[in-house]
């Protein structure tokens, strides 16, 4: 029997600016390092084959970088034309080398993500399987926690109301932002939320890289009383040694990794013992292909997994992880898709639709710009 191969006939790209309903602030804003976030910029890719199969993927940027992602993706997209869409690993490297003068992390890698995710979506759709099943699912639903209701721009009363609404929707845990210049204000905030939720609801805090090592150590010990599921990004994202020392000194698990933009950066983090929960972001590390490398190493080290943002992709990846996994609930991207992910009993359900199980994401020809 002759081997038949399909070929990529078209690659369509789209640049989308998605405004948020209100500006949001985390500790990076309160410490003067960034301005409030008002929108998310996204690059969507739709890959179409000669046999009529399609795959949809996306990458994103917050604050600066969106037009740069789109420009780099648009330059490298023609490299996919005529290729076999099944050869995802080889195509990822081809795209990497096409933009190698820009480096092997950061924007050059993030621009590959939309294509790589689209190729995995296409492969699963062609197989008639949800992506989690194609990868090899370990569960049909993943514990999930909400972040969007706990930003520092929201007063504590609103944070408590948001937490109630999230739990009523079927979300299982609540994460709030900390890292303010006044740690006493952080303490009051955490105490109020813990008392409101009770001891049985998972509670996480996220400092968004705003503490130095001494502050993280001292305040981390103070936070032990609240039985947190984890403390997220207590230190600079690239301080693997500091995170490792902190993780070794606290009973509360340490989570980090969302800001890293390559599998190699995650390897250094994991090898250093810097995290109990690893938090890779598929669009930031270049797609699902490098994300799977991070997953394999985290599994080898018996670490827990809590991917950052982009629940539309990460639900499938967390479902395919052998160890403990959480998925982060952000409703921000929901307006871009026709479907909604379902929640029940504190978990997010893997859809039974093929691929990512989502359609939408406006796309247009390569000649159009942002």
Which tokens is 92 given?
A: 């990822």
Same domain, 64 and 136: no
3-state secondary structure of 44: strand
What pTM did the predictor assign? 0.93
User: Does a structural domain hold residue 365?
Assistant: no
Given this model, what pLDDT does residue 4 score? Answer: 62
Distances (CA, A) of 130 to 150, 317, 352, 357: 31, 11, 6, 7
Q: Which residues pair with 39 in a beta bridge?
A: 19
276 marked as part of a ligand binding site: no
Q: Is residue 199 part of a domain?
A: yes
Q: Does 312 reside within a domain?
A: yes
> Would 317 be classed as within a structural domain?
yes
| Neighbouring-strand partners of residue 143 | 347
pLDDT in tens, 223-237: 999 999 999 999 999
pLDDT band at residue 359 using 50, 70 and 90 as cut-offs? confident
185/277 same-domain check: yes
% of the chain at pLDDT higher than 90: 82
Does 24 score more than 90 pLDDT? no
The whole-number pLDDT of residue 1 equals 39
Q: Are residues 178 and 231 in the same domain?
A: yes
Shared domain check, 147 and 88: no
The position carrying tokens 């989570």 is 255
Within this chain, do residues 305 and 338 fall inside the same structural domain, yes or no?
yes
Distances (CA, A) of 68 to 74, 102, 111, 284, 354: 10, 12, 9, 14, 31
State the average pLDDT over residues 94-106: 84
Same domain assignment for residues 117 and 145: no
For residue 107, what pLDDT band results from cuts at 50, 70 and 90?
Answer: confident
The reply to whether 62 and 181 lie within a common domain is: no
Annotated catalytic, 196? no
Asked if residue 224 belongs to a known ligand binding site, the reply is no
Of 314, 346, 318, 345, nearest in space to 330 by CA: 314
Does 318 carry a binding-site annotation? Answer: no
pLDDT in tens, 47-90: 999 999 999 999 999 988 899 999 999 999 999 999 999 999 99
On whether 162 is known to bind a ligand per the annotation, the reply is no
pLDDT for position 369: 47
CATH number, domain of 115, equals 3.30.390.10
Indicate if the pLDDT at residue 2 is higher than 70.
Answer: no
Q: Tell whether 358 is covered by a domain.
A: no
Mean pLDDT rounded to a whole number for the chain = 93
CATH code at 289?
3.20.20.120
Is 156 found in the same domain as 52?
no
Same domain, 124 and 183: no
The domain boundary residue, chosen from 94, 128, 162? 128
Lowest mean per-residue pLDDT among 16-30, 178-192, 291-305, 339-353: 16-30
- Indicate which residue of 177, 266, 314, 316 is catalytic: 177
- Out of 72, 308, 314, 329, the active site residue is 308
Looking at the fold, whether 187 and 314 belong to one and the same domain comes out as: yes
Give the pLDDT of residue 30: 82
| Active-site residue flag, 238 | no
Looking at the structure, do residues 139 and 183 belong to the same domain, yes or no? Answer: yes
Whether residue 2 lies inside any domain: the answer is: no
What contacts 231, CB < 8 A, 6 or more positions away? 204, 205, 207, 216, 220, 223, 250, 252, 253, 254, 255
Partners of 41 in beta bridges: 17, 61
The mean pLDDT of 240-267, rounded to a whole number, is 96
Among 93, 128, 163, the domain boundary falls at: 128
139 with 55, same domain: the answer is no
pLDDT in tens, 284-322: 999 999 999 999 999 999 999 999 999 999 999 999 999
Give the residue numbers spanning the domain of 158.
Answer: 132-349
Q: Say how many residues make up the chain.
A: 370
Report the domain count for the chain. 2
């Amino acid at each position: 029997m002759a081997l038949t191969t399909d070929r990529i006939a078209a690659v369509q790209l789209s640049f989308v600016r998605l405004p948020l309903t209100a500006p949001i602030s985390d500790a990076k804003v309160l410490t003067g390092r960034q301005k409030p976030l008002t929108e998310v910029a996204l690059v969507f890719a739709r890959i179409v084959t000669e046999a009529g199969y399609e795959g949809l993927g996306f990458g994103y940027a917050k604050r600066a970088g969106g037009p740069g992602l789109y420009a780099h993706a648009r330059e490298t997209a023609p490299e996919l034309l005529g290729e076999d869409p099944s050869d995802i690993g080889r195509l990822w490297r081809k795209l990497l080398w096409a933009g190698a003068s820009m480096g092997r992390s950061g924007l050059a890698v993030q621009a590959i993500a939309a294509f790589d995710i689209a190729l995995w979506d296409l492969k699963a759709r062609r197989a008639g399987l949800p992506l989690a099943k194609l990868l090899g699912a370990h569960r049909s639903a993943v514990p999930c926690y909400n972040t969007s209701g706990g930003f520092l721009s929201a007063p504590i009363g609103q944070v408590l109301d948001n937490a109630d609404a999230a739990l009523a929707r079927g979300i299982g845990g609540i994460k709030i932002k900390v890292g303010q210049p006044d740690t006493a204000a952080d303490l009051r905030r955490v105490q109020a939320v813990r008392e409101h939720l009770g001891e049985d609801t998972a509670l996480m805090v996220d400092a968004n890289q705003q503490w130095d090592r001494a502050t993280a150590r001292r305040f981390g010990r103070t936070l032990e009383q609240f039985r947190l599921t984890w403390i997220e990004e207590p230190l600079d994202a690239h301080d693997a040694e500091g995170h490792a020392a902190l993780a070794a000194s606290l009973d509360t698990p340490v989570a980090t990794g969302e800001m890293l933009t390559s599998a190699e950066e995650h390897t250094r983090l994991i090898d250093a013992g810097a995290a109990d929960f690893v938090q890779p972001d598929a669009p930031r590390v270049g797609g699902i292909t490098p994300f799977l490398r991070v997953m394999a190493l985290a599994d080898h080290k018996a670490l827990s997994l809590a991917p950052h943002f982009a629940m539309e992709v990460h639900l499938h990846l967390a479902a395919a992880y052998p160890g403990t996994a959480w998925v982060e609930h952000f409703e921000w991207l929901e307006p871009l898709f026709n479907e909604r992910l379902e929640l029940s009993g504190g978990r997010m359900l893997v859809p039974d639709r093929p691929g990512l199980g989502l359609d939408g994401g406006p796309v247009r020809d390569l000649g159009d710009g942002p």
